[in-house]
Amino acid sequence: MPEVPYSYEITLTMAYIQKCKMPSKSQVNVLLVDDHPENLLALEGILGGLNQNLVRAYSGAQALKCLLNQDFAVILLDVQMPDMDGFETAALIRQRERSQHTPIIFLTAFSTSDNMVERGYSLGAIDYLFKPIQPEILKSKVTAFIDLYEKSAKIERQAAELAAINAELRKSEEKFRSLSACSPVGIFLTDINGLCNYSNPCHQKIYELDEAHIIGEGWLQVIHPDDREQVVNNWYQTLRAGQEYNGEFRIITPDGIERWLHVHSSPMRSDSGDVSGYVGTAEDITARKIAEAEHVELIRAQTARQEAEAANRLKDEFLAVLSHELRTPLNSILGWAKLLQRQKFDEKSVARGLEIVERNALLQTQLINDILDVSRIMRGKLRLNLTPVNLESLVLQTVNAIRVEAETKKLHIDCIIEPFPQAFAQTNSDINHTSSYIVTGDINRLQQIVGNLLSNALKFTPANGSIQVKLSVDNENDYIDYINNIPIAKIEVRDTGIGITADFLPYVFDRFRQADGSTTRSHNGLGLGLAIVRHLVEMHGGRVSVASSGANQGATFTVRLPLRTSLQSQDSQDSRLLKEVGNLKI
């Protein structure tokens, strides 16, 4: 081999340095080792189309230097080189860990002896190519090693990424387990079917079960028998919907201790959004439940005490009113009786005195009758004498009876009787009456109902006001259960009086209740009339209600009573009414 000029050596060295630069990310390194520059140029010409980083080395030493910092997909190594031949270079390449498995293809133009080939293979050669090189063969072999290198590099990257992911997962899992083990809240994990596969120490302590017994459906087995069916149904229903679960229920520990728990779970989702399991918490809320129960009991006791105090106060007020109402007419009676005994009056004064005595005696009688009726109602001793009653006649008679008193107070009273609907005329008429407004009831008590409502309207309606009484068939189904399509009679008493405030409307029909302690005194009476009305109406199988827009807006009282059906069904209807009266809670 001729001696290479010094300037050419410098050129080759610069070219070697340039070639040893790092390739782009899309290229791999291929090391070309030959002491003849023209051979390297020839190899580059053949492999240039592969678009890879072709690195030149002009000696074995230069090749080893390149291998210090770079990895190569394949090494094309000339056998015949000065100072260090290809075999020696290959031996040193294999001694280095980084290049221990790099493929080596020997290039030679001289010996094809079996000994040389065997020596090459023993040093780790992958193949032999003899000069002159066949370009297509060289390109195919190098391409195969480049593909193998790229795939190996890809596998190594994936393995490194997987290792990093696994390391991060292990780190996260260790962190979760560490936090979970120290958590004061019970933490558990389940699979997509809701079967528990992890339970932290606090969770096991709450249930008083070890991990082996709480895993799977073990925790469901200790739910209180009264709560188990509902909890299990809600739990699996929530899981099927992939939703969060929130529930409070009781458990019975193996030692027989009852505890209240609050359990919450949320779905864990993969990157694709699919549910991969559930994570949940369990808290022992027994102390809170006990405190709530004690608080409710305390409120109940306070409410009962307040109601008892209010009832006693109302009774005291009622007794005060009763004393006043009984004494007032009695004073008038006694006063005029003494005057009539001791003095001589003319005929007109005597008649006036007797009229006052009679009026106050009747008032006294009415007060006593109301007290006796309330007493009978409270003891369940009030009885009805049931007969067919014509409501039309009863309403007209009662209105006419108070008309004089209404006119004296300068009140206008109007009575409206709507015609009975023909749709019910055939099935609800009674051969003994011309009207179809026939009910089964006690005529005296029914008259008392209408009379008390009218008296109430008279009492609380100021002068120049008006009162309207209306009898009709009810078209609403909200108050009475229509058995066999029984029509309902509706009696409305509407006034333009002082009205009723919204907060007192629910208590209008209560015994001993007045909207104002001074109301009864200023308008006279005991305030028992409406309470008696409610009980009498209910004893007749009906309902009574009241409506008012507020103070000074008047009030409307409505009584609904079931009408009699045809004569063939009267026995069954009367029996039903008697049964309702017997079952009435006083």
- Per the listing, tokens 């959004």 go with 273
Beta bridge partners of 448: none
Q: What is the C-alpha separation between 464 and 84, in angstroms, rounded? A: 137
Rounded Cα distance, 251 and 170, in Å: 35
Q: How far apart are CA 318 and CA 520, in angstroms?
A: 9
Instruction: Say what the pLDDT of residue 11 is.
Output: 43
SS3 77: strand
Q: How far apart are CA 526 and CA 211, in angstroms?
A: 73
pLDDT at 3: 42
3-state secondary structure of 106: strand
Compute the average pLDDT of residues 145-155. 87
* Residue 5 in this model has a pLDDT that exceeds 80: no
Identify the band that residue 261 occupies on the pLDDT scale cut at 50, 70 and 90: very high
Which position has the token pair 């030679």? 108
* Nearest Cα residue to 240 out of 269, 267, 279: 267
DSSP H or E stretch at residue 38:
helix 37-47
How deeply is 386 buried, as exposed, middle or buried, from its count of CB atoms within 10 A (0-12, 13-18, 19+)? middle
Cα 577 from Cα 389, distance rounded (Å): 14
Kindly list the domain boundaries of the chain, sorted by start residue.
6-157, 183-284, 298-381, 383-583
The answer regarding whether domain 298-381 maps to CATH 1.10.287.130 reads yes
Confidence of residue 179 (pLDDT cuts 50, 70, 90): low
Number of other CB atoms surrounding residue 135 within 10 Å: 14
pLDDT at 581 over 70: no
For 83-120, how does the pLDDT look when each residue is reduced to its tens digit (9 = 90+)? 888 888 888 888 888 888 888 888 887 655 666 777 77
- Residues 473, 424: contact at Cβ < 8 Å? yes
Residues 338 and 546 sit within 8 Å (Cβ to Cβ): no
- Angstrom distance (rounded) from CA 483 to CA 87: 115
Select the CATH number that applies to the domain covering 383-583 from these four: 3.40.50.2300, 3.40.50.970, 3.30.565.10, 3.40.50.880.
Answer: 3.30.565.10
Q: Where are the beta strands (DSSP E) in 318-420?
A: 387-390, 412-417
Distance between CA 390 and CA 122 in Å, rounded? Answer: 130
Question: What is the average pLDDT across 133-149?
Answer: 88
What does the pLDDT read at residue 12?
Answer: 43
pLDDT at 157 > cutoff 80: yes
Angle at alpha carbon of residue 73, lines to 69 and 78, rounded to 5°: 90
pLDDT at residue 446 is higher than 90: yes
Amino acid at 168: E
Fold agreement (183-284, 383-583): no
Is the sign of the CA dihedral 527, 530, 533, 538 positive or negative? Answer: negative
Give the pLDDT score at 511: 67
- Alpha-carbon gap, residue 512 to 426, rounded angstroms: 44
- Give the C-alpha separation, 481 to 52, whole Å: 96
Here the contacts of 98-103 (C-beta below 8 Å, separation 24 or greater) are: 98/67, 98/71, 99/67, 99/71, 99/72, 102/67, 102/71, 102/72, 102/73, 102/74, 102/75, 103/73, 103/74, 103/75, 103/145, 103/148
Q: What is the pLDDT of residues 21-70, one digit of tens each?
A: 455 557 889 999 998 899 889 888 888 888 889 999 999 889 889 888 88
Distance, CA of 249 to CA of 73 (rounded, Å): 67
pLDDT band at 17 (very low <50, low <70, confident <90, very high): very low
Helix/strand/coil for 526? coil
Report the topology of domain 183-284: Beta-Lactamase (3.30.450)
Exposure string for 226-235, b = 16+ CB within 10 A, e = fewer: ebbeebeeeb
- For the ranges 311-320, 349-358, 491-500, the lowest mean pLDDT is seen at 311-320
Q: Is the pLDDT of residue 314 over 80?
A: no
pLDDT at 506 over 80: yes
User: For the sheet containing 53-57, what is the strand order?
Assistant: 53-57, 29-33, 74-78, 104-108, 125-130
SS (H, E, C) 171-211: HHHHHHHHHHHHCCCEEEEECCCCCEEEECHHHHHHHCCCH
**What's the Rg (C-alpha) of the chain?**
55
Provide the angle, in degrees to the nearest 10, between the axes of the packed helices 347-379 and 286-342. 150
E strand or H helix at 303 = helix 286-342
Read off the pLDDT of residues 373-431 as tens digits, 9 standing for 90 and up: 777 777 777 788 899 999 999 999 999 988 888 888 899 999 999 988 776 655 544 43
Q: Is the pLDDT of residue 583 over 50?
A: no
Sign of CA dihedral 328, 329, 330, 336: positive
Helix/strand/coil (H/E/C) assignment for every residue in 486-512: CCEEEEEEEECCCCCCCCCHHHCCCCC
Into which CATH architecture does domain 6-157 fall? 3-Layer(aba) Sandwich (3.40)
Given a contact cutoff of 8 angstroms between Cβ atoms, the answer to whether 300 and 294 are in contact is no
The model's pLDDT over 198-257, given as tens digits with 9 standing for 90+, comes to: 888 888 888 988 888 888 888 888 999 999 999 999 999 988 888 899 999 999 999 889
- Please say whether the dihedral angle defined by the alpha carbons of residues 44, 47, 53 and 57, taken in this order, is positive or negative: negative
pLDDT by residue (tens digit) across 351-369?
888 888 887 787 778 777 7
Determine which helix (DSSP H) or strand (DSSP E) holds 546, and give its type and residue range.
strand 543-547
How far is it, in rounded angstroms, from Cα 441 to Cα 286? 57
Mean pLDDT of the chain: 80
Give yes or no for residue 323 having a pLDDT over 90: no
* Under 8 Å between Cβ of 367 and 526: yes
Phi and psi, residue 71, nearest 5°: -110, 145
